Structure 1
Amino acid sequence: MRAVLQRVTQASCVVDGITTGAITTGFLVLLGIEDADTAEDLDWLAQKIIGMRVFSDENGMMNKALADVNGDILLISQFTLFAATKKGNRPGFTRAAKPDVAIPLYEKMIEKLSALLGKKVSTGIFGADMKISLLNDGPVTILIDTKNKE
């Protein structure tokens, strides 16, 4: 799994003119899933997202996690995080999990993050043409890959 965390002061997802999810302070999380991903990857990544200390403390240092700032999460499925770009100019997406594998893991990630955060996680719609708006705070953008845990 790959996740791009963007610290935001606001973010939203619109599908067919309807807002499916919106947050203020927190993380916009773009989540890519591949066939090799496991429940262990999901658990590790969810803990990492929740525990990431990139929100400013009273001294302006990045020392606070989501819970410390009562932050929210907008989780968006993003198969293009597994784009193969070595050859040519048209990316390939063979590493990205097909919907029959990706959807259950995406739904489990929503459940896991909600449980760890103690509140509902906002989302997009898996496989839809989504319009994402955000105001990146910092900017702070972090890439996490479960295959690079060490």
Structure 2
Amino acid sequence: MSFFARFFVILFALIFSFIAAGIALAIGVMAPELFANSSDPIEKFVFFTAAFFATSFAGASAFVPAVILVAIAETFDLRSIFYYAIGGGLIAAIAWYSSDISLQLENTTDISPVGYGLQLVTAAGIIGGFVYWLLAGRKAGAWKNPYAAT
């Protein structure tokens, strides 16, 4: 596989890993309220639509650290699932600690406050890392040897 083709595989995998992390985060935030209070389907649709578009903001904040981890993995042929899962969790935890917006969002919604935010964000990062490994991480560094079986 050429470097040019590998670049597009990496970009595709990063986009889908950010979407998977965003969906996991939306489900984690909404799970306690999903079946408890409201049965309004429009409210649920609006929430998941907003969560889907909010994934782009999560992707924007995690893009540079993720590209750095991917560059390290491609350079040193790191293909371990643990590298990507732990890397995704660390990126999410660093993003959580660097942007504390819980006070600003405290009175803006009827959804009960999330008391386990760090665990939720880290789990979403691990899921994102796992999805990246499934799509691109298993063949990290394959572009360096054009005669290797893909």
TM over 0.5: no
Which has the higher relative contact order, 1 or 2, with Cα contacts under 8 A spaced 6 or more apart? 2
For normalisation by structure 1, the TM-score amounts to 0.28
For normalisation by structure 2, the TM-score amounts to 0.28
More strand by share: 1
Q: Indicate the structure (1 or 2) with the bigger Cα radius of gyration.
A: 2
